[in-house]
Structure 1
């Protein structure tokens, strides 16, 4: 599907109106707005669980190596987390992704930061990285390979990944509101 503002908006609309994904988006929005801050371990753990379940990040498959407590504690202990999240600090993704032991949490961290940035702060500074993005993004970016995306993930280079998305959207003159979030829906819904 060609990258156009119309196609991106249409795929976003389909996601928002779908029986399951639209309702899950509402749950995420309600939970994050009811509990926007990162000053309580239990609240952070609840938000992690909501994002995990609704986005199939499969945190439970790492249960022997990762606890919900430890992941919530990583986020709780990041200095000025809410201020940095509101400002779109890309380094937050890397900090979350690499500070829970041997597990690379790049995909989960990108989703956690994206949802909060969009739903709580009404900004669009983050792009989601996941398996569908890894498979489909190279179809739209000349010279980009799945291997390169894997390298960015394994080296915790969220800035390069996020800049790639921003550059692509600029190249296609996509300047709609929440263009990163809607582009994720475009990639995901059209290629799932």
Structure 2
């Protein structure tokens, strides 16, 4: 193995990755990130790290040094991701290419904690300035989402900026319900409920408790909880103060909590908007992403969830489920 040129070794490793029961996104990440020490240091540095007797300490120290010299991200959080890729590569060295995927995470406490979600095969790239910028550029290239958002901006900011006329609210709520596939089957009671709340002053002030007031709507004799819709409705009036909640964002935040311990929230806290916004702010601070506003973090995290935690059914865009 050590005698192989860089490209041949990577090609051989990629074949191994495809033989494992892991996602395409994880394969693509591992194919690049596994060889970080080689790219940023040298072939000798890479092989010394992956074959070290005291692998965990020596590889980690080598990665910390390389990341400190070459990355703008949070080194203490980045290092664990690259280390996990080297662990998988060591399995490749020791196997015939048919190792069981469950072996890959032995000895990794954070990964063991995540087995209850059966996501051991997912290696999401560590959040960094470069990653966020990559996904923001990608967002701008998603014509359907981009134009859809432009249409909503025109509706919310130009045509119907206020929430005092139930007809204006009905137009906005109906459009959101259709664009986002939020599955509200009776939209008029929702519009009437929003109109009665007199929300404009609170929206402008970024009052996070407003989401909780909007989300619960009684239709007939049944109280409905339209949490994700409520975050979207507020966000499209004031995107910098109201990040959007949906299932993709939920998945990503729980994933990084379990892997990196950036926060100690409970799963249910994400369904409370005051807590949710605080968790997203903690996420931004932990990974050194403070240069980005919450709208940009929201776009990044959503796309990350869509890439690494895809659903088994179709959605037009950012649905509730």
TM range (shorter): 0.7 to 0.9
1:16 and 2:140 are equivalent in the alignment: yes
Which residue number corresponds to residue 76 of structure 1? 195
Residue 56 of structure 1: aligned partner:
181
1:131–1:191 CA distance, 2 compared to 1 (3 A)? same
TM-superposed CA distance for 1:16, in Å, is 2.5
Distance 1:50 1:10 in 2: 29
Is the contact between residue 177 and residue 183 of structure 2 (CA under 8 Å) also seen in structure 1? Answer: yes
Match for 2:165 among 40, 44, 48? 40
* Alignment match, 1:108: 229
3-state DSSP of counterpart to 1:111? helix
Q: Report deviation, 1:152.
A: 4.5
Q: Which residue of 2 aligns with 1:191?
A: 305
Is the 8 Å Cα contact of residues 11 and 189 (structure 1) preserved in structure 2?
A: yes
CA shift, 1:144, in A, is 5.2
Which runs of 5 or more residues in structure 1 are unaligned?
119-123
Q: Residue 303 of structure 2: SS of its match in structure 1?
A: helix
Rg larger for: 2
- Using the size of structure 1 for normalisation, the TM-score is 0.82
Higher RCO structure (Cα 8 Å, ≥6 apart): 1
Task: Look up the SS of the partner of 1:99 in the other structure.
Answer: strand
Q: Give the Cα–Cα distance (whole angstroms) in 2 for the partners of residues 176 and 29 of structure 1.
A: 23
Q: Which residue of 2 aligns with 1:92?
A: 210
Classify 1:52/1:46 alpha carbon distance in 2 versus 1 (closer, same or farther; 3 Å): same
Distance 1:144 1:46, change over 3 A: farther
**Total equivalences in the alignment:** 174
Q: Quick check: 2:250–2:270 contact (8 Å CA) kept in 1?
A: no
**Residue number in structure 1 paired with 2:26:** none
Q: C-alpha distance in 2, partners of 1:2/1:88?
A: 30
Conserved 8 A contact 1:149-1:161: no
Alpha-carbon separation, structure 1, partners of 2:144 and 2:196? 34
* Runs of 4+ with >6 A deviation: none
Aligned residues of 1:152 and 1:158 also touching (Cα < 8 A):
yes
Does structure 2 conserve the Cα–Cα contact (< 8 Å) formed by 1:91 and 1:159? Answer: yes
